[in-house]
Amino acid sequence: MRRTITSRWAAGALAAGVVTGLVVTLPGVAFAAPSGTRTAGGGRTTAITTTTGVATAAALTTTSVVTSTTTGSGSGSGQPSRPTCTAAVFGQAQQRVEADLSARVTQLNSLLSAVDAATQLTAGDRQTLQDDISTTELPGIEALQPQVQQATTCAQLFKAAHAMVFNFRVFVVMTPQTHMTIVADTETFVEGQIVNLEPAIAQAIQNAQAHGKDVSGAQAAFTDLKNQVSAAQAATAGQAAQVLAQTPAGFPGNWPVFLSARTNLVNAHNDLHAAFTDAKQIRSDLQ
């Protein structure tokens, strides 16, 4: 999976150059089928599909590269499909970009709902995400929709598609940024919940001991609970801020930031589950 993702990004980087080149140097070039897609009579494409589900100029040009790199034929050794936009396929390409824009609007609304539903987001992080989604990304993508609808040339389509991908990075920046911030803040909240229980747990163990109960198991679990929560706090510290600092312009260079944050958040998640298991054992032992 890691190889596949890496390959995709490599392909994406290549595609970025391809698209830019097309936009800048070949304004007459537009969309066509990805590599391997046959054309029917009259040069009309029969289908426009991509393995990644991204129906953009970038994705269309990357399909063959992705395939070649993931099958081990060497990174960058595959030939981009070099889609062409002709009058015959213009309508099809236009519909494809419109669909991609629509998918992004749907995704951004979904992210906005996730933010609204995330009860443990800090006020600041919630505001940052809401601002990013509803005042930058969503209006930006929606502004492209009429441009694409009104486009009459392949160059206009490419320009809009390029902006859609490179300016907003809905799927590879905004989406993980939102979900990971929610994770980080939820973990911080749970850490606080468990830390707040510690004095009561200590008192309960003390009381049980005063009553002649064997508290050795509970005490050991309590020690582990405190260690687990401390580890979770260390893993979570600063993650939300780090993730929120990433921008669309920083992709793909900022992808390792997301991966690193994910590692820390998964570790904290595991620590908190272990702490919860300890808490359950303590309660059971003291009953």
Partner 1 sequence: MTTRKLTMTALAAGFAVTLAACGAGTASHVVKGATPPSKAAASTTAVSPTATGGPGSPTTTPSNGLTQHTLDQVAAELGSLDTSLNAANSDLNNPQGDS
The contact set with partner 1 (CB under 8 A) reads 1, 5, 8-9, 11-12, 15, 50, 52-54, 56, 58-59, 62, 103, 107, 114, 118-120, 164-166, 168-172, 175-176, 179-180, 182-183, 186-187, 189-190, 193-194, 197, 199-201, 203-205, 207-208, 210-213, 258-259, 262, 265-266, 269, 272-273, 276, 279-280, 282-283, 286-287
Give backbone dihedrals phi and psi of 169, rounded to 5 degrees, phi first: 45, 55
Whether 110 contacts 65, CB under 8 Å: no
Q: Nearest approach, Cβ of 185 to partner 1 (angstroms)?
A: 9
Other beta carbons less than 10 A from residue 224's beta carbon: 16
CB-nearer residue toward partner 1: 88 or 163: 163
Q: Nearest approach, Cβ of 43 to partner 1 (angstroms)?
A: 27
Name 275's Cβ contacts closer than 8 Å, sequence gap at least 6: 194, 224, 225, 228, 229, 232
CB-nearer residue toward partner 1: 29 or 265: 265
CB-nearer residue toward partner 1: 153 or 175: 175
Q: Rounded distance, CA 87 to CA 70, Å?
A: 33
CB-nearer residue toward partner 1: 39 or 120: 120
Q: Nearest approach, Cβ of 52 to partner 1 (angstroms)?
A: 5
CB-nearer residue toward partner 1: 11 or 155: 11
Q: Rounded distance, CA 270 to CA 267, Å?
A: 5
Whether 239 contacts 125, CB under 8 Å: no
Give backbone dihedrals phi and psi of 39, rounded to 5 degrees, phi first: -110, 145
